[in-house]
Structure 1
Amino acid sequence: MSSVLDDPADQWMNDEQTRDGELEGEHGRFCMIFRHYAAASGDRRRELRNELLEYLKFSPQSESLITELIALAVDHHSPDRLYLAIDILPQLGDRLFEYAHTFLIRDVDRWNQVYSSRAYEPDDDYWFVLLRSVGQADIAEATKLMFITSCLIESNRGIAEAVVEALGDIDSGAAYDALRRLTTEQDRFIAELTQNALDE
């Protein structure tokens, strides 16, 4: 079965210019592969997932492509849309963590200047993808735990759900200890959500 890309390693070294208002270069190719990936299944989806991963690992624009991948997944119409990104990002390991940590700092700084209650935006789905991906990535456990628990906001239930599920993804004694501590949260939603996760 032919690949969407002839040679990914060469393609990202020869980024083209925009033409007729459409991006013909790396981001355009990345988005094209994503569309095929989202519509594919079985072996073909795995093949395309690996091509996207190659871009994320080796492109000099890796950070912007991670942003692109998450945005494409969040905006997709399929029921499993967020997992289109979660199935790829954990394989980036430390590079994913660097991205997530930088994004967290930028996001909090941006909103805390005026609207502290709006930190962790722009989108709960975006943070769900990042937190679940960090939880599943091959990153030092202590680093993952510190990052994930630092994102808990009682007033944001979407983020709280992502934190609980990400801790469950880690699946370790320390992660379950963190979950058990959350069952004592004053916010009843977080406490019940966490207890349900522990009961599963």
Structure 2
Amino acid sequence: MSEIRFESAQFTTSAAKLSQCPDEVGAEVAFAGRSNAGKSSSINTLTHNKKLARISKTPGRTQLINFFDLGGNKRIVDLPGYGYAKVPARMKIEWQRHMEEYLSERQSLRGLVLVMDCRHPLQTFDVMMLEWAQESEMPLHILMTKADKLKKGPASKQLLTVKKELAQYGDLVSVQLFSSLKRDGLTILKNVLNQWLDTSQDENDELIIEQIDK
């Protein structure tokens, strides 16, 4: 398994709905979270590019699914932030419908990174995403962001509390503390994504199928 150069990430396209998403080749990992949870900052820290995820904050694009290419048919996907207070309820429902379609039907999706503020974990939206992941048997990794806002003791206590709550979801769910400001937890995140985006096993499976067909 070769290490992914996350700093090579480049924005490719935005999609308002599933039919507008790029072709389903290779593998992708999606980032989801409330609009104030630090999702964009996490992506920027991962890619060593402070401006990369700003594209999702541009007026008119906040409701879109944004795709970032990593090369080798691997992608990071920035899903619309949940919890916008200044938009009509009808628009919120529309955004949520398109996001659910993406999560349920996108075959190249290998895992979901759920971003939540470590001071306010497991909000209603977070639990909804956890339940979806469990039903879909989709690997989910939680980033408890803004860990620098708490001292080490309270931060560790929050992590332990969340881990206890997650026990009911089984082995497909993992969790870590993360700080975009101090870059704490970056190595753990990269290791998770490298594992999820590893397509070498897929290539081996395809080779075996080809040999069987012959």
Q: TM-score, normalised by structure 1?
A: 0.38
Structure whose CA Rg is larger: 1
Q: Which has the higher contact order (CA 8 A, sep 6+)?
A: 2
Normalized per residue, the structure richer in helix is 1
Q: Which TM-score applies when normalising by structure 2?
A: 0.36
